[in-house]
Structure 1
Amino acid sequence: MSGTQSLPAAVDALKDKALEHKRGENAKYTISVAQYNINEINSELDDLEEALRDLRYYKTVLEEAFDGSAPTMLGSAVQTAENAVDVTQDELLGNVQRSEMADEEVSLDQDDTEPEVELTPEVETQIRQIRSAKQQVENVSETIQGKLESNRDTWSTRVSAAEELQKILGGQNSDFSRTLNHMHRLLTRDLMDSSGSASKFVSEWENATDSWEKHQSLQSFDDFKEKHDLSDSTIEDVKTLSKSQQLTLADVSTDTLEEMKRVDELESAVELSL
């Protein structure tokens, strides 16, 4: 019988195995809690990083493409964001662990129902800080976007006027027509697309505006009038053409006809019916 274990000893051995199993289950749960908390923090940090990327894009475009200035609150928003993510590895590990589940507290009397995985108080606090920083970054970003939209509206008006004049002239200046098409694309499609490259937009915009400046007389009716010394009545007749309205010889004066004839662009573009 020497090899036979006494009943009390057998009970103690079973209890030790049960406690070991319980500790193993507790360790798994602790890891699950940590993993859940880490995933939640990472998700919030990803959102903050995306907001910062958008902010950097809009800031660069405003300052380098349109010579604008970012709002003074930008520095504070960026600093708040940096503080929100400035957590050491040790602090992060401490924040995501569930301290009340220590091994020494394991008891066979505990409810076998696994508790719900949830955020630790420390992680909840950190997430609130990250979200607050993200909101500040987005507020600054929206302010900058408002400035960019104002610049876009101004330039879109100027480009539209030039496009109208080009339409009347039959797009005779192909280089300027390409410039207008390029500017139209940049303003309507690329400008507010923060997923693109800010440096690329700045470079393309600078090239487009350089070409724009080389064609000052084609930028608007006023510029065209000034360059060719045209009268107001001639310009009005030219504008009539832009509305697809037909002019007859009876509609224009001799002076207007003479002015149109001495401007090569108008002479080839204007069609008058008898």
Structure 2
Amino acid sequence: MAIQTTSLESKLDSLEQKAVEYDTRTNTEEKVAQSEEDLKELNRALHKLKNSLEEFERQAGILTDVFGESLPKGAIARDKVRSLTNTPQEDILDMIDDSNRSLSSHIDDVRTTREKVNNELRLINDRLKEIQRTKLSDASTAESIQKIVGEDPDAMDTISRYRSFLKSILNPNDSVSRLKSRWQGIEKGFENLDTDWEGFRRRHGLREQTIEDLKTLSQEGKVDLDDLSDESVNEMLDVPELRSTIKVSL
């Protein structure tokens, strides 16, 4: 009986050992499979963070280098974010081996950081939209003035390039340095034009009412003489650019 008991115990021990080995192998396989999924998810999260950071840096460069504006207060620490996108492979492997650290928590850190980057990006783009609206309004005013002084082809081309550049700043194709160089040339040409009615009024010594009449003329293309005062007519005809373009029909 002792021999039989020993034999039975031996078989039980063998079965238990196989069960342990099976559980260990199963747990290991599950851990490997989970780690593989986590690595894929981490790579996706890092790729998205890198794209967001690149877009942030480009738009931040447009705001600061091209338009000379300051970044919003509390802007993210880009060096810290950049280091997160360049996490060494050894550190990632350590996370897999370390039971106290997990890839999933690192993925959460990456996602949280990307949210912060995107929030900052929205603030920058909001400011760029404000700049865009203001300067596009200036372009429209300059175009209105050109309509009553003869629509000089070079001036109209400058206004067109000015407007086209501003419309591209939220999704540009060029580098920041290239955009800066282009903007400097375009802005210089634009500043040589009459770009606001008040400046035009002061330069030619016109009354406010005359400017209002000129705005109407620019918008509608014509104005009834009966609606103009003698002072407005005389002031318009005293401006060389206007005298050569305004036609009076009886």
- Answer yes or no: same fold by TM over 0.5: yes
- Mapped pair 1:132 → 2:106: no
**Contact 2:162/2:190 (8 A) holds in 1:** no
Residue 258 of structure 1: CA displacement?
Answer: 3.0
Unaligned runs of 5+ in 1: 1-18, 100-120
- Mapped pair 1:143 → 2:123: yes
- Mapped pair 1:222 → 2:198: yes
- Mapped pair 1:209 → 2:161: no
The 5 Å alignment of 1:86-105 reads 87-96=87-96
Which position in structure 1 is the counterpart of 2:12? none
Q: CA–CA distance in 2 between the matches of 1:235 and 1:140? A: 42
- Mapped pair 1:233 → 2:233: no
Q: Secondary structure at the match of 1:233?
A: helix
**Contact 1:168/1:242 (8 A) holds in 2:** yes
- Give the 3 Å change call, closer, same or farther, for CA 194–29 of structure 1 in structure 2: farther
CA RMSD, 1 decimal: 3.1
TM-score (norm 2): 0.78
Residue 170 of structure 1: CA displacement?
Answer: 3.6
Unaligned runs of 5+ in 2: 1-20
2:216 maps to a residue whose letter is T
Which position in structure 2 is the counterpart of 1:273? 249
Q: CA–CA distance in 1 between the matches of 2:200 and 2:222? A: 21
**Contact 1:30/1:98 (8 A) holds in 2:** no
- Mapped pair 1:44 → 2:50: no
- Give the 3 Å change call, closer, same or farther, for CA 66–87 of structure 1 in structure 2: closer
Give aligned-pair identity as a percent.
Answer: 26
Residue 68 of structure 1: CA displacement?
Answer: 0.8
Q: CA–CA distance in 2 between the matches of 1:72 and 1:32? A: 44
- Give the 3 Å change call, closer, same or farther, for CA 254–98 of structure 1 in structure 2: closer
The answer to which structure has the higher helix fraction is: 2
Residue 267 of structure 1: CA displacement?
Answer: 1.9
**Contact 1:221/1:235 (8 A) holds in 2:** yes
